[in-house]
Amino acid sequence: MTNTKYDSVSLMKVSDFIGLLYGDSGARDWSEMRRFANLTALRNHPDHGYFVSNFWRGPLLYSLVRKLHPKIIVELGTGRGYGAVAMAAAVRDEAYEAQIHTIDLTPETSEFEWIYADENGIETSRSTSLCSFWGKELPAELTNRISFHCADTATVHSILEQESLEADLVFIDGDHSYFGVALDFYSSHSRSAEGAVFVFDDYSDRSGYGVKRLIDGQLSDLYEIQPLDMESDSAYDVEMDHRMAVVNPRGHSVDVSFPKPGSLRFAMLDLRRNIRSILVNIVRRVRS
């Protein structure tokens, strides 16, 4: 990305950022991505019906992979797989070899109510698991490129270390609390390659979200940061003011150090994350 030029301070529309990655307007055919989103990113609207949550996350991740050609791709927080599948599509389209590792605490065989739109656009839901749904509804040429790990996202360093891997591109979309996102970043950074790029979902001032606090407080003086307006077309997403941020978008080599797994600072963050999680669960039970 050495020839790309943009203002790393101001908020940029995600479609404009994608256009800069490709050196054109970014007006591309995203019909396949729409299909993936309808299968893996549909949510219940709080008031009525369904909506696709943060559609542009797919084209963003797809475009970054096509531009950067990362060999080791890591996703923290699988959800239903929209991000991982989008990145797998980019690897397929660029016809190069890459490993995609996605990590989530929910086992791939655990069933839950999955909302999606079928091939006719009819919105429906069924009780299914990640493994089952992927096997039946998504192209094997994509899902076969993805390795799922059932684990705490903050232990990604152990997963990568076991396989002697260093991440080139990391998408962080797990625990959105400050303690959780800090642990995810520190863990993945400790096993990252030179010039690694980090993508964060939910760069937001919303209560309980710590992504913006981490980036603005600890990373903005060390890395180039590009905050992105995700151009939400769902009324609910617009209300939430959905934003993402790309850290080190040009893939520069940056000599920085952060708390490492096994350090006292890392252990204290983990303890505080667990305490917060317990308290949040208690409050939820009381309110219900």
pLDDT of 120 reads 86
pLDDT of 10 reads 86
Q: Are 70 and 94 in contact (CB under 8 A)?
A: no
46 beta partners: none
* 246-271 residues labelled b (16+ CB within 10 A) or e (exposed): bbbbbbeeeeeebbebeeeebeebbe
Total residue count of the chain as it appears in this document: 288
User: Rounded to whole angstroms, how far apart are CA atoms 276 and 238?
Assistant: 28
DSSP code, position 53: S
The tally of CA atoms less than 13 A away on the side-chain side of residue 85 is 24
pLDDT of 1 reads 39
pLDDT of 5 reads 42
CA 133 to mean position of chain CA atoms:
20
Domain ranges of the chain: 12-260
Q: Are 102 and 84 in contact (CB under 8 A)?
A: yes
pLDDT of 240 reads 56
> What's the whole-model pTM score?
0.93
Mean pLDDT by 10 residues, the chain (288 residues): 48 94 73 96 83 94 97 98 98 98 98 93 93 98 98 98 98 96 98 98 92 96 96 59 92 95 97 94 91
Q: Are 13 and 7 in contact (CB under 8 A)?
A: no
12-260 is classed CATH 2.40.30.10:
no
pLDDT of 241 reads 67
User: Rounded to whole angstroms, how far apart are CA atoms 209 and 226?
Assistant: 18
pLDDT of 100 reads 99
pLDDT of 121 reads 85
